[in-house]
Amino acid sequence: MTRQLSTLINANIPLVDALSALVEQIEQPVLKSALSEIREKVREGVRLADAMRSYPHIFGDLYLNMVHAGEISGALDTVLARLADFTEGQARLTSKVKGALTYPLVMGVVGVTLMSFLLVFVVPKIAKIFEDAKATLPLPTRVLLGISGFLQHYWYVALIVVAAAFYAFKKFKAKPNGRRFLDKMSLRMPIFGDMFRMIAVSRFCRTLATLMGAGVQLMPSLDIVKGVVDNVILTEVIEETRNSVKEGESIAEPLKRSGQFPPLVTHMIGIGEKTGELEVMLEKVANTYDDQVETKVSTLTTLLEPLMIVVMGGVVAAIVLSILLPILKMNQMVK
């Protein structure tokens, strides 16, 4: 929608006519309805950005501020094109990360389902053989039968525990201290922590560069960027940076003092401020980290596939071994 609007305005089509063309093309009902009402407000003389403010669930602060800057500067088509590039880039990055996490999640669900089926339906039938033989069972077999019996007779307890744990996690995350603790731990996680930090840094740099390129002033840009990184720890750093910049300090110094932004980022931002090419440097940092995230995601996907197979194979092997041990023992007794 954003790219099409940019193309239509660039072709010197009046804004109301361009919005009418979009309304006819868009199939998504919520967006179609919103654009229709926005078109009517624009027809009445309301600015596009002001008309869009009535739909915060569709157009966020970043979008609105850029559209406003584009209208003020007379370069709305260019700003919309940059906004489309930014939105598509963020969507691609999010898609890659979700794609990398989908495989282990699906494998985990399938694995748990299969294990539950074996423990609830298969193992109890084999247990009857051991009961009839009245043999002394090895420890692994007794543990397996205990788990099987628990799931067979008290499966609802397991569901209640899982539901309670999920509810407690959601409540803990909803609290400011809980959210701060989880965000702090997410940045310290082995392997994934670096990736989360790279994604946040990339969003910070690309969003700030996009806003500044659209003509939005630095202070409002920093206010908007706070809500983009999606991490309380980094949000606090950006807030401190904003306050420092307001007092006349550079952007790079408070970011460097925080220790949360990698040295490469603060160094390139510092060079950008000194040379007057801050926007260019921010774009370069964002591109660098996007490439690193893509590489890391590909590596993780490559490693996780065999790892999940090994883990699932190990669990199945443990179940099979627990069943075979008493059978082998009974065979030896018969001989």
Task: Report pLDDT digits (tens) over 305-316.
Answer: 788 888 888 888
- For residues 52 and 107, membership in a common domain is answered with no
- For residues 204 and 297, membership in a common domain is answered with yes
Q: What is the DSSP letter of 118?
A: I
Q: Which of 86, 106, 122 is the last residue of a domain?
A: 86
Strand (E) or helix (H) holding 261: none
Kindly indicate the confidence band of residue 78, based on its pLDDT and cuts at 50, 70 and 90.
confident
Q: Which of 55, 86, 117 is the last residue of a domain?
A: 86
- For residues 171 and 305, membership in a common domain is answered with yes
- For residues 62 and 15, membership in a common domain is answered with yes
Q: Which of 86, 108, 129 is the last residue of a domain?
A: 86
- For residues 14 and 116, membership in a common domain is answered with no
pLDDT digits (tens, 9 = 90+) for 126-185: 777 777 666 677 888 888 888 888 888 888 888 899 899 999 999 998 898 999 999 999
- For residues 35 and 136, membership in a common domain is answered with no
The beta-carbon contacts of 99-107 under 8 Å, at least 24 apart in sequence, are 99/297, 99/301, 100/297, 100/298, 100/300, 100/301, 100/304, 103/301, 103/304, 103/305, 103/308, 104/304, 104/308, 107/308, 107/309, 107/312
> Looking at the 3D structure of the chain, how many domains does it have?
2
Angle, nearest 10°, between helix axes 29-43 and 15-25? 160
Copy the structure tokens of residue 128: 């009857």
- For residues 61 and 209, membership in a common domain is answered with no
What percent of the chain has pLDDT above 90?
19
CATH number at residue 133: 1.20.81.30
Copy the structure tokens of residue 248: 């006349």
**To the nearest whole number, what is the mean pLDDT of the chain?**
85
Domain coverage including residue 208: 87-335
How distant, in Å, are the alpha carbons of 75, 150, 164 from that of 160?
57, 14, 6
- For residues 314 and 266, membership in a common domain is answered with yes
Is pLDDT at 12 greater than 80 in this prediction? Answer: yes
User: Of residues 41 and 221, which shows the higher confidence score?
Assistant: 41
- For residues 243 and 253, membership in a common domain is answered with yes
pLDDT digits (tens, 9 = 90+) for 99-116: 777 777 888 888 888 888
Q: What is the pLDDT of residue 335?
A: 53
The answer to whether residues 256 and 266 touch, using CB atoms and an 8 Å cutoff, is yes
Copy the structure tokens of residue 134: 């009245």
Report how far residue 325's alpha carbon sits from residue 137's, in angstroms, rounded to the nearest whole number. Answer: 8
What is the average per-residue pLDDT within 189-200?
Answer: 85
Kindly indicate the confidence band of residue 271, based on its pLDDT and cuts at 50, 70 and 90.
very high
pTM: 0.71
- For residues 52 and 195, membership in a common domain is answered with no
Report how far residue 139's alpha carbon sits from residue 142's, in angstroms, rounded to the nearest whole number. Answer: 5
- For residues 68 and 143, membership in a common domain is answered with no
Report how far residue 225's alpha carbon sits from residue 228's, in angstroms, rounded to the nearest whole number. Answer: 5
- For residues 101 and 49, membership in a common domain is answered with no
